[in-house]
Structure formats: structure tokens, C-alpha cells
Structure 1
Amino acid sequence: MTTPVPETVDVLVVGAGMAGSHLALELAQAGRQVTVLEAGPKKPRHDWMSIFTRNPVKGPQAPYPSNPWAPHPEDGGYATFYDQAGPMEFVGAYLRIYGGSTWHWTGFADRLRPADFRMKSTYGVGLDWPVGYEELTPYYARAEKIWGVAGSMEHTWGAPRSEPYPMPPIPASYMDSRVDIALKQMGLHSGIFSHARNSVQFDGRPPCCGNNTCVPICPVGAKLDGSVIADKAEAAGTQIITEAVVTMIHVAPDGRVSGVDVRRPDGSEARVTANVYALCCHAIENPRLLLMSAQENAPRGVANGSDAVGRYLITQANQDTKGVTRDPVFPYRGPQQTSGLIELRDGDFRSSHAAIGTSFMNSGHSGNSDGTDVARELIRKGYMGQALVRELNRIVSRHLRLNSSGEILPDPENRLTLSDEVDSAGLPKARIAYNIDAYTHAGMEISRKINTEVLQRLGSSEITSNEVYLSNAIIGGTARMGDDPNTSVVTAHQQAHQHPNLYILGSSAHVTMPVNAPTLTIAALAMRTAEHILG
């Protein structure tokens, strides 16, 4: 039976992903009455797994089919899901389901570094955040305890900390140790990542058992995702209503938000009013909804007096260098990424070229379908039976892919606007204009040369590097925070400059997108915003 949408609530949160769920959890535990509207459905893990198993495409969106009333990108469909304004194709992947896009994230649980919040002051490029590392430190620590982060104090990736990680680290793979041999010959170093992935049993969830499908789904729930936090929020008293799409935000003459329109899959509509409103529906859906809500009291869109909504869209640049090593490195065992290159992630060089985060991809050449692709090619060449098995094992056991992600400086011309085209729900598509500059390309070329040399030192054949492409995992900046209401959308507490009872949370509020993962920062900022609302 479909849960009816209430007419009036205290705190209304839009989106049951990582930001919305953490905000709801904090507020509910403090006694506030919270209602969360989630556009997509809620399914148990085994249902998503069943879809993934049957889907011949094993990309990041494979277990999570788009729904006509709340569409999201599907593998292979980015070119048409977005109205592409170019010059680069935007391939941002996100989900509209209970728990949000962390269902298919890598599970990296890094804090940002102190310098990441002070790019302009420290390196003379990019922008400074209106909040710093020291202010977020207590919230980082609280989020890590809730998540149960696994990590090593020997590898904090540039983020100072005084307390140990809640769980022992996820160990490096055998493949990582082979890469490390080459790096040491080059005077470089590797380190293990911190993970929101259980290394031991924690919070009723089992330890990682090495299924190697972290992206797109952890079959056993060892990897944390937003549904874990949403469940905690619901247990604390939060009402979560799924399959409820917010299509319009109404603004009163005094500048306060006065209600939102909600549409259900059957076409029925309702209006909800609240004391406090919080948009937590992703860095694409947040600005799209704000712009769709243009009206007399918000002529350029809600919270868009600065014309910054949709601008400063930030992602990361990616490049893969891969080959077939001389000796087996045995990928595809354990989590998909356990270690990475320490160098190039921060330093004075960021004044002239991008920081680069290089990961040793335990998912092999090109993701989960790679073994199938190799088998098809061998069959085409005439291999059959045991000969096929032996040759397949020989090749796949030697696959090595090094993936480098480069930061992209915020640029107001990298932006989301509303398209004249509509999606399956009859709402304007997101039109994306995107390009990357010489600053990013310079960093990516340095990393490509290093990665090529690593493969050469491992005696690899068939070494190739693809063209630089945009990340499908990192999206932010489209409702960025700042002290100046003329150039930003929200304050350091993620409160809209123009509308005192509206908060806009998640990576859309992030000012830059360094190579440390943004998700822990999303959670920390949500906790800080909850404290501000309670105050």
C-alpha cells in the first residue's frame, strides 16, 4: 500500500541518500519530526542483486533500472539522458533510489586535506571553501564511528587525525604488492586506502569477503551505503516516503519557502508545507529542481539570485593505462581498489597542474565484463574447451589497469541548465556544457607517463592509454557554498542565502573536488547542518 504524503510536516528532507539520511538521523535523534521524500523505490539487497545478475551489462548502473516517474542515467545511455552541450560528453552516474548513489560507490572513506579547503590561499588557483578542515574534524570523526571506517594510521592520505580508525585496515592485494615493486624502483610509494567497508564484523554487517563487485553492488552489505543510514534514521523516528517526486518549490513574497509539489507514479499530486526544507537529491537533481521552480518570487529559479545555481559543475578527469604483465598479478580478488599511488595528490605543484589520484584497479582491464570480452575474442580465434580455459586464465591473471583521476578547477562555464527536451516524467532534461583546461591535462599527462613506466617495469605487453574522459562517479559544485551571496548559493551551513528556511546539502554545495573522495565530507557537512538547524 502506498504511504500517503502528509500535508504539513516539521522538517521536510528531499532525498534519502547519504546527505539526506545523515541529516534526518541527526535531527530525529534530537527529537525533531522529520519526513523524507525519496523519488525512487526501496528494494532489499537481494532484489537489486537479482537484477544485476540478469543484466548482461555490468556497468555501475546495472542493478538499478531507471523508473519512468523518476529517471536516472543507465549504462550506455548518458549521451541521451543528458542534453549534451559539449564539448566533452558528460557521463555522470547517479541513482534515485532509497539509499542513493552510494549503492554503487567505491567505498573510499577519506577526509579532505587541509589544503583542499584552501586552494586559492595555498596554491593561488581554484577557490577557498568558507569552512576549513579544523571545523569539520569533529564531524569527520563522528561520521567515521557511525560508518565503521577501516584504515591505517600509516596512510591517512594527507588528513591529520589524532584518533585511530574504528576498524583495522582492508589489506593490500597481491596485485598491489607487484605494483609496489615497480614504484620503489622509481622512487615512488603506495599506500592502502581507508574504506567504508567492514574489515571485521561491524554494526550487524559482515566483513568484506572479496566478491569484487563493489561497483556496482556489494552482495553481502559489507560496504556501507546510504540505505544503512536511512534505516537508522527511520528507526530513530523519521518518516521516509518512497516513490514521491518533488517537482516544484514554492516561495512566498517574504522569501521563505512555502511548500513543495509532489507527484506519485500514478500521476496523483499533493502539496507539502514544512517549517524547514532540505534539498538532498544529488548535484544534478538539486539544481534541476531549483531551476525548474522559477516563479514570480524567484524569477531565475529558487536560491538563484547569484546566477550560480547549475554553474561551477565539478567532476574529475579520468584516464586508464593498462597492459598484460609478464608474470601473473591475479586481479579480480578482494575489493576492486585497495591501494594507490601516494605521490601527486597534494603539493606545491598544484599551483601549476592538477592533483592526481592513481588507484591500482583490482577490477582488471575494463570492469566486470572484461573476462567475458577476453573469452569472446579467444573463441573468435578458435579456442575451445580446456585450451580456452587455460588461455583465458593466462591472460586474465596478468591484467593490470592503473586509473588516474585528476582534479578540475571550478569554472562557471561548466554548468547545468534546463533543456528544451523533456525526460520520461515530462520534466526538462539537464543540459550539460563541459570542458577541462590545460591545468588538468598537464597533471593527467604526468600520471600517464608514470603509469606507463610502471607497466613497462613489470614486463607488460599491449600497453595502452585511453583519451582523458570525465568521471561518472564524481559530481558536485552546482549549488556551491560561500560567504558572498552574489557568487554562491548557500552559506557554510548549507543554508540558502535567499531563503532562510531552505537548506541545500550534498556535493552540490562543494566548492572544489580534490582527489580524496567527497562522500565522508558530505556526511560531515550534513551533521554540521543538522546542528545549525537545531540551534
Structure 2
Amino acid sequence: MPSTLNSDVVIVGTGVVGCLIAEQALDAGLSVLMLEAGPRVGRDTIVENYRNLPPTLRNHWNAPYPPKPWAPHLETRTPTEAASYLDLTGPNAKAYEQGYVRYAGGATWHWAGICWRMTPDDLRLKSLYGVGRDWAFSYDVLEPYYARAEYAMGVCGPGDPALQWPPRTARSRPYPMGPIPFGPGEQRLTDVAATIGMQNLPAPQARNSGVSFDGRPPCCGNNNCFPVCPIAAKYDAATALPRIEAKGGRIITNAVAYRIETNAQKKVEAVHYYDPNRTSHSVSGKIFVLACNGIETPKLLLLSADDKNPRGVANSSDQVGRNMMDQPKLIADIEMSEPLWTGVGPVQSSSIMNTSQGDFRREYAGAMFRMENMARSTLGGLAALEKGLYGKALDQEIRRLSACTARLTVEHEPLPLPFNRLTLSDKKDWLGLNRPSIYYDVGDYVRRSAENYTVPLLKKLATALGATNINISPEFLHSDHIMGGTIMGNDPSDSVVDADCRAHDHDNLFLPGGGAMTTGGSGNSTITMAALALKAADAIVGQLNHA
């Protein structure tokens, strides 16, 4: 039978944003109900799925997360499957093949754990450089929320201010834990980068460094953070779900939200969802939070178009689904004459950030550079087999390629461009819901950066490392940092949410996370999403306490 449920706070999505808001609301004495489109599985299941993969599929991090028919997500095993959910067009469609899974816990299952803050300049692109947009507030407003997010997630990082990012900015609190030491490959990169004016910094990461934190054990360097941390040393929202339930929160999985219902007073009254039997249910509440992600949230808002909201819910500005951002990525696979030995420690532990700042941003994008610290043995083995080798020659080539190859990555800051847009595709999923259709063009700002700045720097860094062969990707790729589809601003005519991620059109609807980000910067987006979640949570609690 269809059910009608009720809660003070209704949250759609169980990733990091939804979990942080749920815990804060529960701690304030509010009732919380969370909806998750996909299944809830144990860590042991995902680890076993990963272990059973053939070597050719182990680089497809989403392979251990088979989608359910009612909650499809992109798969990268084959080009046909990759196109089966996201309907992608535009000159750089490949750069928006976003990797996320619709499972309880969301993308935190498979993220790298990196927590780079944005800089004060990143929030003032328009004022400083005449491009993009300015945020609705300054860095000083966001900084305390960054610190709270770092403690909520358990972020390790350097205590030395010279190694912290952003530079020359005061921190309200130190990192909860010190940094994870570099492996030999990252130390070599750090030393070489310094000779050409590039500073490789220890990355703040939501991973326990040598100590237990929040009930999670210290990292032991399994080096398969993609696709899953097998011991939960890295924060993932799945570790928060039992805690939410222990505090009284209710979590309904396999519940695909398909319509947001509003009343004549522009209040959200209910979320309607399908279960796996295609039976419709509804949830009513006082405050509603859409924390799906930067693709699923605008999709749901557009699916909810009706007579009261002809463009979709929260879309009087026609900005829902516009300004879709990610950090367009280029990679360089290199061979060297001497061993570099990546693979000791987490898959990512450092980044070069000073390349993201400067007056050049008037003309072209800043960027973050890093070396992927993944073990190369599987890649080396597959490459050696392709050469037709066997016996001792095969063994020697596997060892050489495992030690003497590496991948360098550059991720460019995007601009919020309104023509980069998510709309509803004519193609429908198993439940009969329109799939997301996304047009994506990285823009001339990024293309000029690649041509004049980042690719020359990438080649210079590779050469300094002793590269004998450099193979740079021929097109921009995705970084899986989904931003901008419900963009923040002070002007309701050209933005979707206000400074607290509250929808301009509906004062009891909050759309926090990556979709609200006004600009993207060059670093990973998760810690900014988490900070915005905590800022929104304060507003939600305050609003209900004064109701």
C-alpha cells in the first residue's frame, strides 16, 4: 500500500551533504527522514565485488557498484553503457561523463578523500579578474564552516602554515590530525617540482593518519581508495548512516524521488517517490533538503514542473540546470628511465596548488597539478601482456612498467557558463522518468589555459621527472566534481539559492552542496560542499526554532 510519512526535516540523498545536515538537525532535537534512490549495502559486499573483478575492469572504479534498474547511474565499462544514463552532447561531452553511484552513502564510497579549500580569490573572480561570478559572501564567512566540516569528517593535514592551503589565511582551528607521510613517488615529485617553481603540498584528506578518529581506524595504505576503502579509514557517508539511525533518524532506501509538490503559498508540501515496485509514496514535512548531487537535484526540480511551477520547482530565474561545472582534466601518462614507485599510501596524497592563483586568470584558467599515487602493477601487467611477452621477459617488463611509469593530472578551474545546461532527455529510465540531458563545452577560458599554460607546464614537469615518453590525453576528461546546476547568488533573477542555500522561490526548500557553488576553483569540491551543508543546517535549525 502507498504510504504517507511525515518529518520535521525531509532529506533526499544520503551522501556527505545529506548526512551532515541530518546529524545537525537530529542534535537540535528535530525529526529527520532521509530518502535514498539506491540500495544500502555493506562494505564487505563492495570489497568482494572489487576483488572478483578481472584485471581489465579494475580501473573502472564504478564496476563494484552495479546499478539497480530503478536507480541507474553511468557505467564506464563500455562506451555504450557509459551513454546509457547521461545523455551527453556538446563539444566536450566526454568531459561530463560524471562518475557517481546511486547507493546509500553516495559518491563518498569511492571518492579520494581530498579536501582542498577554495581561496579568497576563488570566491571573487568577477571583482578581481572580470570573469565568472562573485560568491554571495566572502571567504571569512565560509572559513568557520570549513573548520567544522574538517572535524565532522576527520580531515588530516599539515600543521606548518607554509604547507597549508590557502596560503596566508588564518585558520580558526588546526586540522584534527597531522598529515599522512609521502611515499617515495610523491616525495620525488615534490623535490622535482620545487626545481621548476611548483610547490607540491600534502593534501588535506578525510582519512585517519596514524590514529583512530570518530570510530574509524588509521589508514594502512591499501591504495584502493578508488573504488572503496576496505577498512573505513577514509570518511564515507555510509559510516554516518548507523549514527544517524542511532540518533533517531529514519532512512528509506530504494526510494526514487520523482516530484516535489508545492502549495499556493509557494511552500513545499511533499516529496513523492517510487519504490522498486513502481508504487508511489509521499513524505510531508516542514523543511525539505535536496542533497542528491549536482545532476540529480536539478533533474528532480525540472521533473516537478506543474501549473504553479511551469519551468520546474525553484526555477523562476530559469537557472536550474544551467552553469553546470566540473574541472576539465587532462592527463599525461609518462615512462621514465628510473623507477618512481607510486602506490605507497593513499591513491592521492598531494597536489600542486600555486598554479591555480594569479593575475593571469583574467585571460585563462588556473589549475591544480598532481601525480596519481595509484600502484601501477595492474596497468603494467596489462600493458606487458599486450606486447606478447611471456616467461622471464614478461616478468621483467611488468616490473619495469610498474616502477617506471606514472600519471600526471591537471584539473582546470571552470567558469559558470549558462549554456552548459542540464535539461530533461526524451529518453526515459526503467521507472519512466526522463534521464538527464547535458550540453557541455569547457569554454575558451579553459582552452586558452591548456594551450598557453597548463600543457606546457605539464610537459616541463614530466621532463623534469625524467620522462622518456609523454602521452597527453587528446581531449578534456571529467574530474567527477559536479557543481553549479542550482547556483547561489544574492539576486533571485539570476540564481537559484541564497547564501544559505535556501531556494529563492520556496523558503522551506534547501539545495545545498556542489550544485550551489558559484565558481569551482581548481581543487576537489567536497569540503566546500560540506561547508555549505553545515551553513545550511544552521539556517534550517534556526528557521524551525523560530517558526
Q: Does 1:268 align with 2:279?
A: yes
Counterpart pick for 2:383 among 362, 370, 374:
374
Deviation digits for residues 46-100 of structure 1 (CA, Å, limit 9, x no counterpart): 1111112223322121221111111111124332321122222221111211111
Q: Does 1:285 align with 2:293?
A: no
Distance, in Å, in 1 between the alignment partners of 2:197 and 2:107 is 37
Inter-CA distance 472–73: structure 2 relative to 1 (3 Å threshold): farther
Distance, in Å, in 1 between the alignment partners of 2:3 and 2:289 is 16
What displacement does 1:222 show? Answer: 1.0
Distance, in Å, in 1 between the alignment partners of 2:360 and 2:443 is 16
Distance, in Å, in 2 between the alignment partners of 1:472 and 1:518 is 10
- Name the structure 2 match of 1:485: 492
Q: Does 1:428 align with 2:426?
A: no
Question: Is the CA contact 2:9–2:33 (under 8 Å) kept in the aligned structure 1?
Answer: yes
- Name the structure 2 match of 1:157: 165
- Name the structure 2 match of 1:168: 178
Question: Is the CA contact 2:198–2:355 (under 8 Å) kept in the aligned structure 1?
Answer: no
**SS of residue in 2 equivalent to 1:7:** strand
Distance, in Å, in 1 between the alignment partners of 2:414 and 2:7 is 40
- Name the structure 1 match of 2:533: 526
TM-score by length of 1: 0.95
Question: Is the CA contact 1:364–1:399 (under 8 Å) kept in the aligned structure 2?
Answer: no
Q: Does 1:26 align with 2:24?
A: yes
Distance, in Å, in 2 between the alignment partners of 1:322 and 1:401 is 5
Structure 1 gap segments, 5+ residues each:
none
**SS of residue in 2 equivalent to 1:180:** helix
- Name the structure 1 match of 2:522: 515
Question: Is the CA contact 2:159–2:178 (under 8 Å) kept in the aligned structure 1?
Answer: no
Could you tell which deviates more after superposition, 29-38 or 130-139?
130-139
Could you tell which deviates more after superposition, 175-184 or 296-305?
175-184
Inter-CA distance 399–53: structure 2 relative to 1 (3 Å threshold): same
After superposition, residues 311-322 of structure 1 pair within 5 angstroms as 311-322=322-333
Inter-CA distance 458–493: structure 2 relative to 1 (3 Å threshold): closer
Q: Does 1:73 align with 2:71?
A: no
Could you tell which deviates more after superposition, 280-289 or 164-173?
164-173
CA RMSD of aligned residues (A): 1.8
Q: Does 1:296 align with 2:303?
A: no
Could you tell which deviates more after superposition, 473-482 or 139-148?
139-148
Could you tell which deviates more after superposition, 77-86 or 108-117?
77-86
After superposition, residues 85-484 of structure 1 pair within 5 angstroms as 85-89=89-93, 90-154=96-160, 155-158=163-166, 160=169, 161-200=171-210, 201-363=212-374, 369-378=378-387, 380=388, 382-384=389-391, 386-445=392-451, 446-484=453-491
Question: Is the CA contact 1:326–1:458 (under 8 Å) kept in the aligned structure 2?
Answer: no
Distance, in Å, in 1 between the alignment partners of 2:486 and 2:191 is 44
What displacement does 1:5 show? Answer: 5.3
Question: Is the CA contact 2:328–2:479 (under 8 Å) kept in the aligned structure 1?
Answer: no
Distance, in Å, in 2 between the alignment partners of 1:457 and 1:417 is 45
Counterpart pick for 2:88 among 84, 87, 104:
84
**SS of residue in 2 equivalent to 1:287:** helix
**SS of residue in 1 equivalent to 2:436:** strand
What displacement does 1:186 show? Answer: 1.9
Deviation digits for residues 31-51 of structure 1 (CA, Å, limit 9, x no counterpart): 000111111111110111111
Q: Does 1:63 align with 2:64?
A: yes
Question: Is the CA contact 1:16–1:98 (under 8 Å) kept in the aligned structure 2?
Answer: yes
- Name the structure 1 match of 2:545: none
What displacement does 1:162 show? Answer: 4.3
Question: Is the CA contact 1:317–1:468 (under 8 Å) kept in the aligned structure 2?
Answer: no
Distance, in Å, in 2 between the alignment partners of 1:318 and 1:285 is 22
**SS of residue in 2 equivalent to 1:453:** helix
What displacement does 1:444 show? Answer: 2.4
Distance, in Å, in 1 between the alignment partners of 2:498 and 2:158 is 34
Structure 2 gap segments, 5+ residues each:
543-547
Equivalent position amino acid for 1:27 in 2: A
Could you tell which deviates more after superposition, 227-236 or 507-516?
227-236
What displacement does 1:332 show? Answer: 2.0
Distance, in Å, in 2 between the alignment partners of 1:447 and 1:88 is 18
What displacement does 1:528 show? Answer: 1.3
- Name the structure 2 match of 1:35: 33
Distance, in Å, in 1 between the alignment partners of 2:450 and 2:433 is 37
Could you tell which deviates more after superposition, 396-405 or 203-212?
203-212
What displacement does 1:12 show? Answer: 0.8
**SS of residue in 2 equivalent to 1:188:** coil
Inter-CA distance 485–330: structure 2 relative to 1 (3 Å threshold): same
Distance, in Å, in 1 between the alignment partners of 2:251 and 2:340 is 46
**SS of residue in 2 equivalent to 1:533:** helix
What displacement does 1:404 show? Answer: 0.3
Inter-CA distance 175–309: structure 2 relative to 1 (3 Å threshold): same
What displacement does 1:364 show? Answer: 5.8
Inter-CA distance 162–253: structure 2 relative to 1 (3 Å threshold): closer
**SS of residue in 1 equivalent to 2:356:** coil
Question: Is the CA contact 2:232–2:239 (under 8 Å) kept in the aligned structure 1?
Answer: no
**SS of residue in 2 equivalent to 1:87:** coil
Equivalent position amino acid for 2:151 in 1: K
TM-score by length of 2: 0.93
Q: How many residues align?
A: 528
Question: Is the CA contact 2:385–2:394 (under 8 Å) kept in the aligned structure 1?
Answer: no
User: Runs in 1 of length 4+ with deviation above 4 angstroms?
Assistant: none
Question: Is the CA contact 2:324–2:482 (under 8 Å) kept in the aligned structure 1?
Answer: yes
Equivalent position amino acid for 2:5 in 1: E
Could you tell which deviates more after superposition, 328-337 or 173-182?
173-182
What displacement does 1:6 show? Answer: 4.6
Inter-CA distance 24–287: structure 2 relative to 1 (3 Å threshold): same
**SS of residue in 1 equivalent to 2:25:** helix
Inter-CA distance 46–5: structure 2 relative to 1 (3 Å threshold): farther
Distance, in Å, in 2 between the alignment partners of 1:248 and 1:323 is 48
**SS of residue in 1 equivalent to 2:329:** strand
Identity between Structure 1 and Structure 2 (%): 39
What displacement does 1:472 show? Answer: 4.1
Inter-CA distance 518–459: structure 2 relative to 1 (3 Å threshold): closer
Could you tell which deviates more after superposition, 300-309 or 188-197?
188-197
Distance, in Å, in 2 between the alignment partners of 1:125 and 1:406 is 15
Question: Is the CA contact 1:19–1:280 (under 8 Å) kept in the aligned structure 2?
Answer: yes
